[in-house]
């Protein structure tokens, strides 16, 4: 059974906003940059608490990112948040050169991750940000699983990290189930559920779906281990190798293109260190569309039932090999 | 410090000639790079580093120094030559330009540890934004230094420059000065043929900037323009009219020399041209 209790659905973007506010209370150098949609990406809390440390730059993401680099070069801790599609893609060159090549501590919040953005449709559903951010030298890439963890991840990203950080979160209220007293450890995956037959390595709010999928599998007599990969880069190699060696089958679960996201990062470790059968849950080289979040997750094979189905196939393959 | 605040015309001319010589020598040794903009900006860099900027080569991280951000990374040779001539590192190191393991990367890279280098840059259209961040930081910290940024004119075709222009004006950054190397040419030819920039001064004015135009080879005029800009409440842009390749008559204004360097055979003649210009 699922040992976690949903304390009530809450959007991870809200968690990000709380983390940013808390970081601002702890450190005067934290500065937030707004690109118009501040209330939608969790920056409004900070902006009303610290109006003097909020800089409005309008709908101009490229400028926002490079301004952040200038602030960071001077010792400030700039946090820039907007929709992931704009942050990671429109401003990719600025992130590459002004932020990553200069290796400055700029925190980029990528909101509206995945198809669960819902009715806004494909243009606003970030499904490529992990690929692009992962490819950049010096970048740390975080993808927490619920609002509570996102708050702690934001705190860690802002106050503990050095260098560039991209933190990804979603729009829709989703189950909030992790322990607020567990501090976020950058680069460390957490084992959410024990199991020996296969491992579901999930990221973002799909960790919850993976936990539900494990329940379905349990009824078929399969014990699935669930790993929350809340840091995509640097990936927790040790945890991946352990799961591969101990369960001999790995399914990655992400609300992102399967090209270049979590699945690719995990496969890179598995194939070089401990090759075992793998399967990939995620967007299969296509765009999303409008619709209710849960139905979209179902349509694109990211709900618990689809995950369990894929896992079952992989388990059978493993047993027949 | 005193030697960097000069207005002595003879001394400034001396500095400009030496910087041009160093640019020519280092680019010839490198065998590749961009000669045109570096020669064209030699007087601007002379005015900045030997008269306008508050800086100290012995303390490159001095918090109250004026910042100089080079947005057109391909003009790195003139920045390197100026920094070396001002004493940030030995001029011999200029011979390592563009070579493996060098601190003098083809386009500026801070990760290689060159003192005096404020920003890694090379992708056009980002320096003005970074300079805005630095100017905002100075305001947060109550420091009264100035942030200067050097841009190319072709660079102004990047849309992000105008995002930045809007933002600097919106935030009334009176501690920000942008210098545009208005040489009228870019790699494919004259700027007005590749993509019209005029009326350029009006564009900046309409974005809320103070605009000054000057002869980018008249060091006294540059110094006057860059130093006496107080009581402003808006950022300043200086359109510095320069000649690409200034100092070498055979290449002056020739856009084909944007991304070329002299051969070893050409170098002595080019250096002679510089000596002739120095005398006149
Ligand atoms: Mg030009």
What was the pLDDT predicted at B6? Answer: 86
Beta bridge partners of B182: B241
Taking 60 as the threshold, does the pLDDT of residue B53 lie above it?
yes
Clarify whether residues A156 and A24 are in a common domain. yes
- Is B17 an interface residue toward A (CB < 8 Å)? no
Taking 70 as the threshold, does the pLDDT of residue B2 lie above it?
no
For B113, which residue in chain A has the nearest alpha carbon?
A102
What is the spatial distance between Cα B51 and Cα B248, in angstroms, rounded to a whole number? Answer: 25
Q: Confirm if B70 and B76 have CB atoms less than 8 A apart.
A: yes
- Three-state secondary-structure class, residue A250: strand
H or E segment at A107?
strand A107-111
What was the pLDDT predicted at A130? Answer: 98
Clarify whether residues A20 and A161 are in a common domain. yes
Last residue of a domain, one of A117, A142, A174: A174
Q: Confirm if B216 and B47 have CB atoms less than 8 A apart.
A: no
Tens-digit pLDDT profile for residues A56-76: 999 999 999 999 999 999 999
List residues of A with catalytic annotation. Answer: 61
A283: domain CATH number is 3.40.50.920
**Ligand 1 centre from B87 Cα, in Å?**
28
The stretch A118-129 carries a mean pLDDT of 97
Decide if A70 and B138 are in contact by the 8 Å CB cutoff. Answer: no
* B136 → closest Cβ in A58, A71, A94: A71
Chain A with chain B: Cβ pairs closer than 8 A: 102
- Tell me what the pLDDT averaged over chain A comes to: 97
**Residue closest to A113 by CA, chosen among A299, A297, A239:** A297
| Nearest-neighbour CA in chain A from B37: distance (Å) | 21
Q: Per the domain annotation, does A223 fall within a domain?
A: yes
Tens-digit pLDDT profile for residues A87-104: 999 999 999 999 999 999
* Cβ neighbours of residue B8 closer than 8 Å, sequence gap 6 or more: none
How is residue B181 written in tokens?
Answer: 């190397």
Tens-digit pLDDT profile for residues A203-244: 999 999 999 999 999 999 999 999 999 999 999 999 999 999
Clarify whether residues A273 and A312 are in a common domain. yes
What is the spatial distance between Cα B181 and Cα B197, in angstroms, rounded to a whole number? Answer: 13
- Is B136 an interface residue toward A (CB < 8 Å)? yes
What was the pLDDT predicted at B7? Answer: 87
Q: Per the domain annotation, does A261 fall within a domain?
A: yes
Q: Per the domain annotation, does A98 fall within a domain?
A: yes
- Is B129 an interface residue toward A (CB < 8 Å)? yes
Tens-digit pLDDT profile for residues A111-121: 999 999 999 99
What was the pLDDT predicted at B230? Answer: 60
**Which residues of chain A make contact with B138, given a CB cutoff of 8 A?**
74
DSSP-assigned letter for residue B67:
E
For A28, which residue in chain B has the nearest alpha carbon?
B140
What is the spatial distance between Cα B124 and Cα B152, in angstroms, rounded to a whole number? Answer: 9
| Nearest-neighbour CA in chain B from A41: distance (Å) | 21
Q: Which of residues 95-114 of B touch A (CB under 8 A)?
A: 109-111
Taking 80 as the threshold, does the pLDDT of residue B60 lie above it?
yes
Q: Per the domain annotation, does A1 fall within a domain?
A: no
Residue B229, phi then psi, degrees to nearest 5: -130, 15
**Which residues of chain A make contact with B160, given a CB cutoff of 8 A?**
60, 62-63, 66, 94
**Ligand 1 centre from A314 Cα, in Å?**
59
Q: Confirm if A127 and A302 have CB atoms less than 8 A apart.
A: no
| Nearest-neighbour CA in chain B from A213: distance (Å) | 46
DSSP-assigned letter for residue B175:
T
| Nearest-neighbour CA in chain B from A260: distance (Å) | 25
Cα B121 to chain centroid distance, Å, stands at 13
Tens-digit pLDDT profile for residues B78-130: 999 999 999 999 999 999 999 999 999 999 999 999 999 999 999 999 999 99
Q: Per the domain annotation, does A315 fall within a domain?
A: yes
pLDDT band for A195, please (50, 70, 90 cuts): very high
For B127, which residue in chain A has the nearest alpha carbon?
A66
**Which residues of chain A make contact with B161, given a CB cutoff of 8 A?**
none
Tens-digit pLDDT profile for residues B209-226: 999 999 999 999 999 999
Q: Per the domain annotation, does A146 fall within a domain?
A: yes
| Nearest-neighbour CA in chain A from B136: distance (Å) | 7
How many folded domains does chain A comprise? 2
Clarify whether residues A152 and A217 are in a common domain. no
Clarify whether residues A166 and A199 are in a common domain. no
Taking 90 as the threshold, does the pLDDT of residue B232 lie above it?
no
Is the bond into B175 cis (omega within 30 degrees of 0)?
no
Residue A193, phi then psi, degrees to nearest 5: -150, 135
Q: Per the domain annotation, does A142 fall within a domain?
A: yes
A139: domain CATH number is 3.40.50.970
Taking 90 as the threshold, does the pLDDT of residue B258 lie above it?
no
Taking 70 as the threshold, does the pLDDT of residue B63 lie above it?
yes
Question: Positive or negative CA dihedral for B118, B121, B127, B129?
Answer: negative
**Which residues of chain A make contact with B136, given a CB cutoff of 8 A?**
55, 67, 70-71
Decide if A71 and B121 are in contact by the 8 Å CB cutoff. Answer: no
Q: Which domains does chain B have, with CATH numbers?
A: 2-279 (3.40.50.970)
The stretch B132-145 carries a mean pLDDT of 97
pLDDT band for B1, please (50, 70, 90 cuts): very low
Residue A81's Cβ-side half-sphere holds a number of Cα atoms within 13 Å equal to: 32
Clarify whether residues A85 and A155 are in a common domain. yes
What is the spatial distance between Cα B184 and Cα A150, in angstroms, rounded to a whole number? Answer: 50
Interface of A with B (CB under 8 A): 31, 53, 55, 57-58, 60, 62-63, 65-76, 78, 93-94, 96-98, 101-103
Decide if B134 and A102 are in contact by the 8 Å CB cutoff. Answer: no
For A69, which residue in chain B has the nearest alpha carbon?
B130
| Nearest-neighbour CA in chain A from B159: distance (Å) | 9
Clarify whether residues A263 and A158 are in a common domain. no
Range of the domain at A297: 190-320
As residues whose CB is below 5 A from the ion ligand 1, the structure lists: B 152-154, 183, 186
**Ligand 1 centre from B198 Cα, in Å?**
13
ipTM attached to this prediction: 0.97
Lowest mean pLDDT among B23-32, B126-135, B257-266: B257-266
What is the spatial distance between Cα A207 and Cα A230, in angstroms, rounded to a whole number? Answer: 9
Last residue of a domain, one of A174, A199, A229: A174
Q: Where would I find the beta strands (DSSP E) of B88-233?
A: 147-152, 176-182, 185-186, 189-190, 210-215
The stretch B49-75 carries a mean pLDDT of 97
What is the spatial distance between Cα A165 and Cα A286, in angstroms, rounded to a whole number? Answer: 27
Clarify whether residues A138 and A251 are in a common domain. no
Q: Pairing between strand A30-34 and A107-111?
A: unpaired
Clarify whether residues A282 and A147 are in a common domain. no
Decide if A98 and B136 are in contact by the 8 Å CB cutoff. Answer: no
Clarify whether residues A156 and A21 are in a common domain. yes
How is residue B251 written in tokens?
Answer: 């290449």
Last residue of a domain, one of A118, A142, A174: A174
Decide if A66 and B135 are in contact by the 8 Å CB cutoff. Answer: no
Mutate to test the interface with A, among B66, B69, B130, B149 (most CBs of A within 10 A): B130
Clarify whether residues A281 and A211 are in a common domain. yes
Clarify whether residues A16 and A156 are in a common domain. yes
Q: Per the domain annotation, does A149 fall within a domain?
A: yes
């Amino acid at each position: 059974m699922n040992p976690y209790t949903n304390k009530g659905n809450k959007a991870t973007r809200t968690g990000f906003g709380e983390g940013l506010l808390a970081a601002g209370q702890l450190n005067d150098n934290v500065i937030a940059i707004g690109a118009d949609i501040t209330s939608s990406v969790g920056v409004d809390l900070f902006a009303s608490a610290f109006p003097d440390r909020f800089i409005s730059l309008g709908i101009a993401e490229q400028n926002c990112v490079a301004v952040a680099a200038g602030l960071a070069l001077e010792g400030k801790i700039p946090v820039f948040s907007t929709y992931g599609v704009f942050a990671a893609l429109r401003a990719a060159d600025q992130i590459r050169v002004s932020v990553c090549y200069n290796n400055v501590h700029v925190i980029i919040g990528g909101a509206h991750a995945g198809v669960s953005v819902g009715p806004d449709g494909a243009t606003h559903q970030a499904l490529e940000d992990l690929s692009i951010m992962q490819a950049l030298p010096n970048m740390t890439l975080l993808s927490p699983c619920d609002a509570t963890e996102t708050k702690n991840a934001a705190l860690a990203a802002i106050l503990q990290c050095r260098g560039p950080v991209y933190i990804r979160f979603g729009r829709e209220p989703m189950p909030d189930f992790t322990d607020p007293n567990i501090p976020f450890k950058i680069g460390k995956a957490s084992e959410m559920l024990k199991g020996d037959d296969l491992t579901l390595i999930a990221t973002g709010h799909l960790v919850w779906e993976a936990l539900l999928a494990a329940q379905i599998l349990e009824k078929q007599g399969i014990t699935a281990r669930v790993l929350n990969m809340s840091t995509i880069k640097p990936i927790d190699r040790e945890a991946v190798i352990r799961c591969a060696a101990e369960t001999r089958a790995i399914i990655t679960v992400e609300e992102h293109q399967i090209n270049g996201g979590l699945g690719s990062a995990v496969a890179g470790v598995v194939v070089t260190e401990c090759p075992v059968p793998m399967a990939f849950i995620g967007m299969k080289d296509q765009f999303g569309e409008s619709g209710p979040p849960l139905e979209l997750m179902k349509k694109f094979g990211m709900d618990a039932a689809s995950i369990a189905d894929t896992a079952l196939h992989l388990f059978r393959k493993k047993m027949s090999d | 410090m005193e030697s960097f605040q000069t207005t002595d015309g003879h001394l400034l001319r001396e500095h400009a000639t030496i910087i041009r010589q160093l640019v020519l020598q280092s680019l010839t040794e490198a065998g590749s790079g961009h000669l045109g903009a570096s020669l064209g900006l030699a007087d601007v860099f002379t005015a900045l580093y030997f008269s306008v900027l508050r800086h100290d080569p012995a303390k490159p991280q001095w918090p109250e120094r004026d910042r100089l951000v080079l947005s057109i990374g391909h003009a790195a040779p003139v920045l390197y030559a100026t920094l070396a001539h001002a004493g940030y590192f030995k001029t011999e190191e200029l011979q390592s330009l563009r070579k493996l393991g060098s601190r003098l990367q083809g386009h500026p890279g801070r990760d290689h540890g060159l003192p005096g280098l404020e920003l890694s840059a090379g992708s056009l259209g980002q320096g003005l934004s970074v300079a805005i961040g630095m100017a905002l930081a100075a305001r947060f910290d109550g420091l009264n230094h100035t942030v200067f940024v050097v841009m190319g004119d072709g660079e102004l075709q990047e849309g992000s420059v105008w995002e930045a222009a809007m933002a600097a004006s919106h935030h009334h950054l009176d501690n920000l000065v942008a210098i545009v190397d208005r040489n009228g040419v870019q790699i494919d030819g004259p700027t007005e043929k590749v993509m019209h920039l005029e009326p350029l001064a009006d564009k900046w004015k309409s974005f809320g900037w103070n605009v000054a135009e000057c002869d980018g080879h008249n060091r006294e005029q540059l110094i006057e323009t860059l130093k006496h800009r107080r009581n402003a409440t808006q950022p300043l842009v200086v359109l510095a009219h320069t000649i690409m390749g200034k100092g070498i008559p055979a290449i002056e204004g020739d856009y084909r020399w944007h991304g070329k360097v002299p051969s070893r055979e050409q170098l002595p003649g080019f250096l002679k041209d510089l000596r002739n210009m120095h005398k006149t």
